[in-house]
Structure 1
Amino acid sequence: MATCYIFGAGASYGYNSDVEEKDCPPLTEQFLVKAREQNVLTEDNFPSLREGVVKYLNEKENLNAETFEQLSEADLKIDIEKFLGWSFSRRDEFSDRFDRLVSERILEGRDELEEELFLFDSVIGETYFFIYELLRRYPSSDKIIRNNYRKLLRKTRNEDAYFISLNYDVLLECAAQKRDMIAIYTGIHDKLDIDYPKDYVPVAKVHGSINWINPTDMRPEKGFSNSIKVRHLKGISYTHPETSVEVYSIDRLRRTSYREFLNSNPMSKIAIVPPLAENKNFEEISDYKRVWKFAGEMLSKSDEVVFIGCSVREQDEKFIETLENNLRDNVKLSIFSGRDSESIESQLEDYATNPEFITDEKVINSKRHFDDYIQYIS
């Protein structure tokens, strides 16, 4: 019997109930708060991202802030995906308006539109490196050894188990390393149809990973913010179509700040799919296609699928399509996604034929977090 585990942000956030909240990776609405706490989101590091956040909050929350410093912690608790989706829409709006002026040979207003277009291009471009710089800090210490990822790997070591991660972080990989196991990135490292040794952990990271590096054929423009901006704009056309991403080791990831990364990799960028709402680009890197293919095969080979800390949102069209096309008939579905568990069960009834859900009252009456799943299988 094979089991496929699907991890969302809630899995990493709840990976260890014994650690302080500050040592947990951010949930969707905590990215900006934790980035400020860790002194990541500074003017020197990500000026355009900060300016974009101010503009977003002034428009959406009717604030009247002039600088990022004026924003409170409560102000910064915004859904990062909604903010980036808005930024992408604003970028398209200014691009269309600018192109229209150019086509009509109108000079008035071009400079203002070009400035706004540059800003939102830069917001999206900086996002790759902002996510890298924030998430490479987790786990915050090697001393955090007792956690749910490690407990799960101990259970699954001698079982047929597959792992799909919607997360960018490397907490699962760190847990594997601590257990003397090897995380194998399906679609990057290997094929799914081989007999994996028991110390291998096959994982499909369908949104990319902060330790995946995508080489490009271009050199950045001068100027730090410009170089980040250009990586977003030109990444698709300049990506090596047949070249697999480079994978950083955990140790290398931890010791390499994003500035050091840029200095040593002038023609590369982080291979992740930023949370751009319905504007996610899964065609940017050829490896993504293979990763999603293997994710589908993992689901189709599994008698049970366990969702941990995972939501299923309307904008996750690729994820929903993969579930619909690959979940087995009569598959056992175990949902441990907190207060969203029941609504996810209702959604999954539309994606699978005759699914079987957990009926254990202890599970149903629990908070249905990662801790509860570990207790359930212990």
Structure 2
Amino acid sequence: MSKCYLLGAGASYGSRDSIPEGQRPPMGEYLFVDGWDSGLLRKEHFNPLFREVKRYAGIDGQVIDEGELEFNSEIFLKELDEEFSLLQIASQYQSLDDLDESEEVKQLQEHLRNRPEIEDDGIYERLENDSFPEEVKSDYISNLIQLKEMALSLSYYYFYEIFRQYSKEYYPKRDNYTNLANHVHTTNSTVLSLNYDIMFEKAIKSENLDYVYKGHPYSFYVGPRHRSESISLIKLHGSINWMNPFSMIEFGNGQPFHQRVKFIHSNSVQTKCEYIDNHEVESMDYEQLVHRSGGIYEPALIPPFEGRKDYEKVQAYDKIWSSAGHFLENTDELVVIGSRISPQDSKLIELIDTNMEKDSTITLVCGSSSNEIQTRLSDRFDHLNIETDCLRFGEYMDSLTGT
């Protein structure tokens, strides 16, 4: 049996104890605060997304304080996706009362009626008006569908750019990530990661080690060493250096940025997911993904849509998750660093529940949230031992090295 590590956003956040607060990758509640501070969210390309962010936060007009943008990004994107889905359904009917009485639609209807909204949008009053003229409804809902789909599609490029910048600015210097890389290599452990960034990959390479993206059908292998000597890395939600390539014809040659990407969220065309060299990714901003010769790159990410993550959109993820299950079957300890494993992470919870043997151990290294997570997971995984020996990443690494 072996040890397996699960890295969440808190691992990259705590990769080096001495990093100033403003240079740490953002946690979920600060993803749009970070984009506001850096100016990314205010770029014209992201206007449709920014509009939905402000609407969700209840901001009518200009952002006065960055604290207004501090909220759970997963819930925001999940609800935006729900609204998009309901609008698609509503576009087929004269009024909401005509909608099919399925349980899913009832839930979407309830969400639509209860969601706070800025007055000038008026979507709920318009959609619930029994005398809503068909010709007006058609144009109105069609425009809303396009705007919301565009906002959802832009989120792929927004997250790519956020984590590209932090990956680019990360320089491994004998920190928690480099220490973990050496430990994992020495003990032949496996690493599962929920992170989009390539900070851990850079830490591995800085120690003259190699890694292989296990489970990916195209088996991305990075380094000259034999595969058996490389660190096994499984990225469950994708990576900023994974891309789906599409031709210009499929996504509109010569159109503005937001028009070219507007169907990305709904796109289900399967392509051969490409690996982009880390150095190339660091120099390739989000605009270059879209305005490149030969076509457009779609970041092969699973965006944080709480409870509505689409794992079938990119074909590669079926084998990636199967590979993760195989490693967990042979693991007697899963060390969770910086992930809350929230109740909404149903696929991850099922992965752990289904594959880890009885009396195996989950060790939590999740900061001040460790005790709360321990209580919650103990109720969910009654066949596993849940422990919290160390609270912080650096403390845990010190315990391994005896320092």
Q: For the superposition of Structure 1 and Structure 2, which TM-score range results when normalised by the shorter chain?
A: 0.7 to 0.9
> Counterpart in 1 of 2:187?
159
Report the alpha carbon displacement of residue 287 of structure 1 after superposing the two structures with TM.
0.5
Deviation by residue 1:327-346 (Cα, 9 ceiling, x = unmatched): 12221221111222123223
Q: Post-superposition shift, 1:216?
A: 3.7
1:106 CA displacement: 2.1
Question: Is residue 307–residue 336 contact of structure 1 (8 Å, CA) maintained in 2?
Answer: yes
Counterpart of 1:313 in 2: which secondary structure? coil
Contact residue 43 and residue 50 of structure 1 kept, 8 A: no
Which residue of structure 1 lines up, in the alignment, with residue 8 of structure 2? 8
Does residue 373 of the first structure (1) align with residue 366 of the second (2)?
Answer: no
Q: CA deviation at 1:267?
A: 3.9
1:27 aligns with 2:58: no
The DSSP-based 3-state class of the residue aligned with 1:214 is strand
List structure 1 segments (4+ residues) > 6 angstroms apart after TM superposition: 102-105
Q: Deviations over 1:118-168 (max 9, x none)?
A: 111011000000001110012453544232110111222221200111111
Contact 1:215 1:239 in 2 (8 A): no
**Correspondence for 1:224:** 257
Match of residue 283 from structure 1: 312
Q: How many residues align?
A: 357
Match of 1:310 in 2: 339
Which residue number in structure 2 is paired with residue 92 of structure 1? Answer: 85
CA deviation digits over 1:294-348, x for unaligned, max 9?
1111111112110000112122111111011011222122111122212322343
Q: CA deviation at 1:182?
A: 1.9
Matched residues in 2 for 1:229 and 1:101: separation?
26
Change (3 A) 1:80 1:358: closer
Instruction: Measure the CA separation in 1 of the matches of 2:67 and 2:317.
Output: 35
Cα drift, residue 256 of structure 1: 0.3
Structure 2 equivalent of residue 255 of structure 1: 283
Rounded to whole Å, the distance in 2 between the matches of 1:3 and 1:356 is 14
Q: Match for 2:212 among 184, 189, 195?
A: 184
> Shift in Å at residue 114 of structure 1?
1.6
Instruction: Write the distance in 2 (CA, Å) between the matches of 1:359 and 1:19.
Output: 24
Alignment partner of 2:300: what SS?
strand
8 Å Cα contact 1:23/1:139 also seen in 2: no
Q: Counterparts of 2:79 and 2:354 in 1: how far apart (Å)? A: 30
Q: Does 1:57 align with 2:28?
A: no
Q: Secondary structure at the match of 1:208?
A: coil
Distance 1:127 1:285 in 2: 16
Pick one of 290, 303, 323 that aligns with 1:274: 303
5+ long unaligned stretches in structure 1: none
8 A contact 1:219–1:267 mirrored in 2: no
Q: Are 1:205 and 1:291, in contact at CA under 8 Å, matched by a contact in 2?
A: yes
The separation in 2 between residues aligned to 1:167 and 1:181, in whole angstroms, is 20
Deviation at 1:34, TM superposition (A): 1.2
Letter in 1 for 2:193: S
CA 1:239–1:358 in structure 2 vs 1: closer, same or farther (change >3 Å)?
closer
CA distance 1:224–1:143, shift in 2 (3 Å): closer
Q: Which moved more, 1:173-182 or 1:216-225?
A: 216-225
C-alpha separation between the residues in 1 aligned to 2:32 and 2:342?
Answer: 21
Question: What is the deviation of 1:169?
Answer: 0.9
1:92, distance to aligned residue in structure 2 (A): 1.7
Tell me the C-alpha RMSD between the 2 structures: 2.4
Query: Take 2:348 and 2:380, find their aligned partners in 1: how far apart are those partners?
Result: 11
Alignment of 1:67-216 (within 5 A): 69-101=62-94, 106-141=134-169, 143-188=171-216, 189-190=218-219, 196-198=227-229, 200-216=230-246
**Letter aligned with residue 374 of structure 1:** M
Distance 2:374 2:326 in 1: 22
- Aligned residue for 1:274, secondary structure, equals coil
Q: Give distance in 1, aligned partners of 2:172 and 2:4.
A: 25
Map of 1:336-355 to 2, 5 A cutoff?
Answer: 336-350=365-379, 352=381, 354-355=383-384
Q: After superposition, what is the alpha-carbon deviation per residue over 1:206-239, rounded to whole angstroms, capped at 9, x for unaligned? A: 1111110013465213232111112222x20x22
- Could you say what secondary structure the match of 1:25 adopts? coil
Deviation at 1:269, TM superposition (A): 0.5
CA distance 1:191–1:112, change in 2 (3 Å)? closer
Q: Distance in 2 between matches of 1:315 and 1:352?
A: 15
Question: Contact conserved, 1:5 with 1:307, CA < 8 A, in 2?
Answer: yes
Corresponding residue SS for 1:203: strand
**CA shift in 2, pair 1:301/1:353, >3 Å:** farther
Letter in 2 for 1:376: S
Q: Which amino acid aligns with 2:154?
A: E
Q: Which amino acid aligns with 1:209?
A: S
Report the Cα distance in structure 2 between the residues aligned to 1:93 and 1:337, rounded to whole angstroms: 37
In structure 2, the CA distance between the partners of 1:139 and 1:106, relative to structure 1 (3 Å rule), is closer
Deviations 1:256-297 (A, max 9, x none): 011111112624301001111111100111110011001111
| Counterpart-to-counterpart distance in 2, 1:300 and 1:131 | 32
* Unmatched runs of 5 consecutive residues or more in structure 2: 99-131
AA of the residue aligned to 1:203: L
Q: CA deviation at 1:349?
A: 3.1
- 1:187 and 1:290 in contact (8 A); partners too: yes
SS in 2 for 1:70: coil
8 Å CA contact 1:84–1:275 kept in 2: the answer is yes
